[in-house]
Amino acid sequence: VSNKYLDCETCFCSSILSLPSVILSKTLPSFFMLQVNLEYLESKLETVDGEEVQRIQDNINSLFHHCVQALGEEHQIKVVNALQTLCALFRGVHQKNKSASGFDIINMLMGFDKAEQRMKDLMERLDSLLCGDGSESLKSLCLKLLLCLVTVTDNISQNTILEYVMINSIFEAILQILSDVSSRGQHGYDAVVLLALLVNYRKYESVNPYIVKLSIVDDEPTLDGMGMVVHQALTEYNRQYKDKEEENQGGFFSTLTSMVGSMFIADADEKLSVQTNEAILLALYEAVHLNRNFITVLAQSHPEMDIAATPMTPTPTTPTTPLGTTPPSLDMMNNPELPLDPNLLTSNLLITFLKYASIVMQDTKDEHRLNSARLCLIILTCIAEDQYADAFLHDDNMNFRVNLHKMPMRHRKKAVDKNIPSRPLVCAVLDLMVEFIVTHMMKDFPMDLYLRCVQIIHKLLCYQKKCRIRLHYTWRELWSALINLLKFLLSNETTLLAKHNIFHLALLVVNLFNMFITYGDTFLPTSNSYDELYYEIVRMHQVFDNLYCMVLRVSTNTGQWKEAASKVTHALVNVRAIINHFNPKIESYAAVNHISQLSEEQVLEVVRSNYDTLTLKLQDGLDQFERYSEQPKEAAFFKELVRSISLNVRKNVSLNTLSQDVLLKEFSTIS
């Protein structure tokens, strides 16, 4: 048998499937000393026909069993080959039996009657390898195997084998990797992505132990470790984007665009933002959404790290992947405590995330990027609702300079502001929301994202009103952006109503103004700010007048939007009272003083001297909001998102596991 079947890799793989099962079970232990031809084994499994499948099932079951047994061997080449063979088995059997039930696949792989014990043994051995003091390369391969197992089906919730991963949890092994500086540097990225995927297994259908355990983690080193992995991945993406951006701004390209305007800039930026790291974003979302203790990690300050200045450790087993999908450098992951340098900007995970969001939210023209922006806004929604997060966002003693990326537009230059003031972090969040509102008023209107932006602003205002926080912010920029948004909705009423309920968004915007009108004296920084609010409303009264005419017209006719428009009509009562009260006073002042065009200061003087005679109605519920809930509203979104992430991870794992030479070279010297 040895002479006939062990002469080459291909013959080895072929013999596994064709040998009589009795002979195979005796010879398999020595087979693991040979390098596995993964491509051949997978393709062979994929091409076998129905009758042959039944004939070789015992051999596949035996091979699976011996692979699991080999994971306990002292000879590490056997362990490497066993891990890679398991990857090939999982992928090959699933590819061949895509339409088969999960139970049939389990039976094909390990025999249904023995599956529980086989998977228990497999998970225990993987746990042992991950938590032990063995080779880092073996730990990496264990994680690759687990990622392969989790992503082997397009929809992870249809992967019945994962039931055994739920029962035989490796949650503690993942936490151990994240809490240890050295392990985190080597394996943190894969561990975090694996955890994010496992959390999403049948999360709406049954009790997922990974959700339960993640929600109660309170170990500081573990949470810090998870935050560090996410932070480094986002930082690396931000750095790569900045480098590409600077590259495109130089030389002939820069000269050309300066000659013909910003015509080509948007196209260039689209190419930069195609690949987003949704797996890491999902991990951040799950941590923020499920674990309140993780909120503290967002605010932990440290020097802003320039990964470009850090030597990159080459990783031969990792293929070249698109921008934003690669883990950060190992050296950066290994050094969470960096020496403080007064010349370095201070940063934290939230700042890095805001910068990342400012990049991915620039271009939402295709579904992939739209979903990335949506996930960023969902994360910000969770943060804006958390009382502790709101406390550090508004803390005057925690000021930061946050340089957000801005979309190139014809009426403004895309220049880095070197004089960004140091402010509470909530100012950067508001800046990001204003930037999105201003830059996405387009034909293919991203209604869902606009709703989320306005709701995030509202939640922050509710906190400021509740705690009487007088934030020194350029509120006029926000008011101007909101008024321009209303103007856009009015100008494109017919087109937008064919696809969207624009009255709901208009209602949210008007109620933001109602928040400022009703409660502004409790959270606007000065009385002048309150005067400026009235000035902006009066100055832009035509927009509010036109909005009122439009919603009145729709609400007085029978039709689909009658009720929605009626709500906006009622919400405009105080805005209209202000306009109707101050406009005659301003006109009278101009006539008496023979002034054709009043200055801003003159209008403000009229406003200040006529507050006493203004009558406003108290509106209920302005400082109330519906709290975020993933189920049922977001369930479909997350199912599709996880499917997309799973496909991407599977592709990268496939490339990684096939890079065998380095592993075998490493372990051939140990034997």
pLDDT tens-digit profile of 43-76?
A: 777 777 666 767 788 888 988 998 999 998 888 8
Predicted pLDDT of residue 305: 52
The pLDDT value recorded for residue 190 is 95
Task: For residue range 105-153, list pLDDT tens digits in order.
Answer: 899 899 889 999 999 999 999 999 999 988 888 999 999 999 999 999 9
User: Residues with Cβ < 8 Å from 59, sequence gap 6 or more?
Assistant: 16, 17, 18, 19, 21, 24
Which residue in 578, 496, 492, 571 sits closest to 541, CA to CA?
A: 578
pTM given for the model: 0.87
Triad 49, 50, 54: Cα angle to 5°: 115
Residue 283 phi/psi, 5° resolution?
A: -60, -45
The pLDDT value recorded for residue 459 is 98
The torsion angles phi and psi of 346, rounded to 5 degrees, stand at -85, 140
Please state the φ and ψ torsions of residue 639, each to the nearest 5 degrees. -60, -45
What's the residue count for the chain? Answer: 671
Nearest to 552 by CA among 572, 566, 540: 566
Distance from C-alpha of 342 to C-alpha of 338, rounded to nearest angstrom? 12
| Paired tokens of 658 | 């096939």
Please list the ranges in the chain whose pLDDT falls under 50: 1-12, 251-271, 273-274, 306-326, 329-343, 658, 671
d(CA 204, CA 441) in angstroms, rounded, equals: 35
DSSP one-letter code for 313: P
pLDDT of residue 662: 59
Dihedral sign for Cα atoms in the order 221, 222, 226, 229 = positive
Alpha helical stretches, state H, 158-264: 162-167, 171-179, 181-199, 209-215, 220-249, 251-260
